[in-house]
Structure 1
Amino acid sequence: MSLKETIETEYKNALKAKDKSKISTYRLILSSIKDLDITNRSGPEKKETDDEDIKKLLKKMVKQRAESIEIYKKNNRTDLLEVEQNEYDILTSFLPKQLSEEDTKKICEEIISKTGAASVKDMGKVMGALKKDYSDEIDFAKAGSLIKELLNK
């Protein structure tokens, strides 16, 4: 079953359960996927929307929710924070499990030694290797700051 079909099934289950917060989040996801379909069908490179496209879209949506959560925490808006947190949890449930900061650091250290990176100038090599091998499991915003930290030692 494709990722889109899984999301549609979850949406139908939420409708049956009359879970308003899940329904609105699934509608948001499905409408974003529909927009992505339209974009992929028109334009110079026509293609079908696949699971990788949907994962990229979900990662973007998760990042937006994470930024909003930080803002709401700073401004003590618990009402809005709850809504964003629920959306964040639903969105992340469709993505592969992200590695912990410890595991990410270990992997970054391994790749730095493999690529022979010595300074921040070599960061592109390290990030390229990371993306090739761990594109789904690593949060690259965190990895970027970790790599800078490790290369500046």
Structure 2
Amino acid sequence: MELRNRVNVALKEAMKERAADRLSTLRLINAAIKDKDIEARGEGREDGVGEAEVLAILGKMVKQRQESARVYEEGGRIDLAERELGEIKVIEEFLPRQLNEAEVDRAVKEAIAETGADSIRDMGRVMGALKSKYTGQMDFGAVGPQIKSRLCAG
């Protein structure tokens, strides 16, 4: 639950500093986590969501804001796009460092070797292995085609 604690500490600091934009984003993060906790409890998991799920929530929040910022920019609403980009910066503070291209490439190779994948039918296993190790550190939407090309070529 370290991520939750980090978010709560940052929330309290933002309140003390009267940083309204930051506070607003931190409250959105907390609300998203609590929503997933409630959903998890409904499924019988009394502890709520774990660290990996919190990372997935944060990753999803970043993706949503990137898409919104792009739409706002295309629509000429630079002010709204900048607000979305500001929220992304706050959310990314809680995400692990993103892997660079070479690191992603190495991780994909290792996951294929670990799972013994040799055809496109094994893509789900490779993706599962990557998600268990690298949640929040890579864009799985971008990694999918890379895995597919390796399994088809190999």
Q: TM-score range by the shorter chain?
A: 0.7 to 0.9
TM-score (norm 1): 0.81
Aligned AA (1:146): Q
**What percentage of aligned pairs have identical amino acids?**
40
- Cα deviation, residue 115, structure 1: 4.4
- Structure 1 pair 150–53 and aligned structure 2 pair: CA distance change class (3 A): closer
- The equivalent residue for 1:38 is 38
For structure 1, the residue ranges without an aligned partner over 5 or more in a row are none
Q: Which moved more, 1:83-92 or 1:119-128?
A: 119-128
- Aligned to 1:86, the other structure's residue is in SS state helix
Residue aligning to 1:111:
111
Normalised by the length of structure 2, the TM-score is 0.81
Q: What secondary structure is seen at the aligned counterpart in 2 of 1:7?
A: helix
Structure 1 residues 132, 4: CA separation in 2 closer, same or farther (over 3 Å shift)?
A: closer
After superposition, where does 1:102-141 map in structure 2 within 5 Å?
102-141=102-141
Displacement of 1:152 in angstroms is 4.2
Q: Tell me, yes or no, if structure 1 residue 4 matches structure 2 residue 4.
A: yes
The Cα of 1:12 is off from its aligned counterpart by 1.6
Residue 24 (structure 1) aligned with residue 24 (structure 2): yes
Task: Report SS of the residue matched to 2:4.
Answer: helix
Counterpart CA distance in 1 for 2:45 and 2:117 is 39
Moved more, 132-141 or 16-25: 132-141
Q: Calculate the aligned-residue CA RMSD, in Å.
A: 2.4
Cα deviation per residue 1:58-112 (whole Å; 9 max; x = unaligned)? 1221221122223233333311111111111111111111211232122213433
Cα deviation for residue 130 of structure 1 reads: 1.9
Is residue 2:56 matched to residue 1:48?
no
Alpha-carbon distance between aligned partners in 2 of 1:48 and 1:143, rounded to the nearest angstrom? 31
CA contact (8 A) 2:59 2:136 kept: no
1:67 matched to 2:61: no
Change (3 A) 1:152 1:136: same
Ranges in structure 2 where 5+ consecutive residues have no aligned partner? none
* Distance in 2, Cα, partners of 1:46 & 1:114: 30
Matched-pair contact (CA < 8 Å) for 2:11–2:23: yes
Segment of structure 1 superposing worse, 113-122 or 8-17: 113-122
CA contact (8 A) 2:65 2:84 kept: yes
Q: Aligned partner of 1:38: which letter?
A: I
Secondary structure at 1:45 match in 2? coil
Flag the 1:128–1:51 CA change in 2: closer, same or farther, 3 A: closer
For 1:46, what is the secondary structure of its paired residue? coil
